Structure 1
Amino acid sequence: MLDRLNIVKQRFDEVSDLIIQPDIIADQKRYIQLNKEYKDLKEIVDKREEYILLTGNIEEANEIIEDGSDDEMVEMAKMQMEEAKEKLPQLEEEIKYMLIPKDPEDAKNAVIEIRAGTGGDEASIFAGDLHRMYTKYCQSKGWSVNVVDFNEGTSGGFKEVIFEVNGEDVYGTMKFEAGVHRVQRVPQTETQGRVHTSAATVMVLPEAEEFDVELNMSDVRIERTTSTGPGGQSVNTTYSAIKLHHEPTGIIVSCQDEKSQHKNLEKATKVLRSRLYERELQKKMEADSAKRKSMVSSGDRSAKIRTYNYPQGRVTDHRIGLTLYDLSKIMDGDIQKFIDELQLVENTEKLKESDVF
């Protein structure tokens, strides 16, 4: 393990030197990449120091015990060794997972799209419930949430809602939410008290930086329209809403959240860039899936990933077979348990595939 940690330390020293070079500082793309690498490596280097200290304590205690000339020192050494040996397995496990190669997309912000699926008005209401759940979760993490575009359902909720989330490691946390979410409950409009099944689809895209994907604006047709929905008379009469048509791919992105046309254009462009970037990643993932079969990140948008059963008060994640009987808290944004378990499964899969150990 120490050999691997020493290689990391060597790279950390190289990066530490590189990020203060004027030519690197002048190259924004390279500087951002190296700064992120520096931060990631520093966490491992700190653990390396902890590991060296702990193994050093064990060696030192062993020498004192073997010498055996001072009974009091031997007793202290035995306590020191016992304490260090208790901590070592946990530390080694932490380091093992830290050494797994990270997906560079995980550190990015995310664009999340929720669309009502089968189930009519009830599906729209459920899409609204999911939006509220994610908003509450993201806010609890200290992330900012901004709506880009929405299409309200006739009985509440959303037929479609798109929002961006900014913060630390957003995509790496939220990517597991992509897929079909199913709800089983008695709709408000149901007079017979029968349980209906509805669904909503969630897409999670890593937010692309300008340098991540080439977007030629000459390929984009910009349509300016009046906004719909709430916002007052001025919003509904001025041409502030933006619709972008990307001619080569047929991708269409709308944004009407802001009163300013310029801000709507900025937001819509960001979403378009992210969708183009996601297309590239999807192709890569499809190529990779021929080599590896992942339980939690297949990239299949049509895969049913989770069921929310209201009569039984349970939520089941079908990818890992985890059921939690805490539906009201989960719908209030407490989804961390699912995310932790999904991340653990992904890391375990990566550990098996990697040549870390």
Structure 2
Amino acid sequence: MDRNLMESIKEWTKSSIEELEKRLMENLELKDMIKVSSDFTKFKEIDSLINEYFELLDEKELWKEEPGSEGEIQKIDEKAESLANEILTLLLPEDEFKDRNVFLEIRAGTGGDEAALFAGDLLRMYLRYAEIKNWSYEILDESKSDLGGYKEVVVRIKGKNSGTYMKYERGVHRVQRIPVTESGGRIHTSTATVAVLPEIRDVDVFVDPKDLRIDTYRASGAGGQYVNKTESAIRITHIPTGIVVTCQSERSQHQNKDKAMMVLRAKLYELARREQDEKVSSQRKNQIGSGERSEKIRTYNFPQNRVTDHRVNLTIYNLQAVMDGNLDLIIPKLIQYDIEQQLKELGII
């Protein structure tokens, strides 16, 4: 985290503690006293963590004077990052993606075959990013195009901070390039939409079995003759909402059903969240993007070797690096911007 930003948080925390100390001296009702005491304890904890954070920065400056101290400096950076995350967890509203695995859903948009090929490029980019971040992944469902692209693909991604990072990929991704199907050499614009859903526990969303219609069918794609001879693939329809999910990644019908139910719970949770957001539409207007499928978030321009993220007006002239999965050229900047916007909403900066 930027030092100046932490300085601002420290000043705001100090001011909050002073104000709470004054309130504790007042003749408060019991419920107000409990709330003020709880806030006071929280801000004292934040203040202690901030002091520890700055002590680490001072220690880092001392180590910089020592030759061969790269290892110690790296340890300090990791501790400082952990402290900063702890401070932000206490300050900011709860993040529904924190400590959650995610379901990544990529769909070809406008552009026909080229859009499907681009969806495949995005899939490879995300799978490579997962490998770089030491996350695991599995493709739960896919529908391929004739040219080897993807009309739609659903992937489960598991690993530390996978939700925290991947949530910034929600929205419309636009590609500008000469398609392989274009004989005249003209540049075309195509799109693909990306949805990212947090994996939901059973206790978070209740699904009444009576609301489900479950169908089986023969799986297609990889897997040899076995998958084509058995009805192992699962299609679940949630009748009240019309949401349909499918899974054919496993040979076992039971395993496919379990995974399809995980995706269904995530989609029902997302539907409930969107309905709540509509009721409180003014909430967090300054946050990076809405996560809506219709929001254009990034352009990949191949002739110009350019990637532009429209949410923070960030342009990188190294498109291949991004397509090879080096999304840390972009996502940390989105995280920083998002944090700053949330702190502004709280009046901290």
How far apart are the structure 2 equivalents of 1:285 and 1:321?
26
Q: CA RMSD in A?
A: 3.1
How far apart are the structure 1 equivalents of 2:193 and 2:58?
53
C-alpha distance 334-274 of structure 1, shift in aligned 2 (>3 A): same
For 1:195, give the aligned amino acid: I
Q: How much has 1:324 moved relative to structure 2?
A: 0.3
Counterpart position of 1:332 = 324
Structure 1, gaps ≥5 residues long: 9-40, 58-89
C-alpha distance 252-263 of structure 1, shift in aligned 2 (>3 A): same
For 2:144, give the aligned amino acid: E
Counterpart position of 2:91 = 100
CA contact (8 A) 2:49 2:87 kept: no
Q: Secondary structure of 2:91's partner?
A: coil
CA contact (8 A) 1:241 1:264 kept: yes
Counterpart position of 2:28 = none
C-alpha distance 238-45 of structure 1, shift in aligned 2 (>3 A): farther
Counterpart position of 2:30 = none
CA contact (8 A) 1:96 1:356 kept: no
Q: Secondary structure of 1:155's partner?
A: coil
For 1:210, give the aligned amino acid: D
C-alpha distance 336-285 of structure 1, shift in aligned 2 (>3 A): farther
Q: How much has 1:96 moved relative to structure 2?
A: 6.4
Counterpart position of 2:205 = 213
How far apart are the structure 2 equivalents of 1:181 and 1:54?
40
Counterpart position of 2:118 = 126
Structure number with greater Rg is 1
Structure 2, gaps ≥5 residues long: 1-9, 18-42, 60-79
Q: How much has 1:100 moved relative to structure 2?
A: 2.9
CA contact (8 A) 1:227 1:256 kept: yes
C-alpha distance 286-54 of structure 1, shift in aligned 2 (>3 A): same
CA contact (8 A) 2:102 2:198 kept: yes
User: Does structure 1 residue 227 correspond to structure 2 residue 227?
Assistant: no
Counterpart position of 2:52 = 50
Question: Identity over aligned residues, as a percent?
Answer: 46
* Counterpart among 102, 116, 119 of residue 108 in structure 2: 116
CA contact (8 A) 2:168 2:291 kept: no
User: Does structure 1 residue 247 correspond to structure 2 residue 249?
Assistant: no
* Counterpart among 267, 288, 312 of residue 275 in structure 1: 267
Equivalent positions of 1:1-80 (< 5 A) are 1=10, 47-48=49-50, 50=52
Counterpart position of 2:228 = 236
What TM-score results when the alignment is normalised by the length of structure 1?
Answer: 0.74
* Counterpart among 278, 288, 304 of residue 286 in structure 1: 278
Q: Deviations over 1:189-231 (max 9, x none)?
A: 1111111111100001111111111111221111011111222
C-alpha distance 102-173 of structure 1, shift in aligned 2 (>3 A): farther
Q: Deviations over 1:325-345 (max 9, x none)?
A: 010010010011211111111
How far apart are the structure 2 equivalents of 1:96 and 1:230?
46
Counterpart position of 2:168 = 176
Counterpart position of 1:257 = 249
User: Does structure 1 residue 186 correspond to structure 2 residue 178?
Assistant: yes
How far apart are the structure 2 equivalents of 1:285 and 1:132?
32
For 1:47, give the aligned amino acid: L
How far apart are the structure 2 equivalents of 1:54 and 1:123?
48
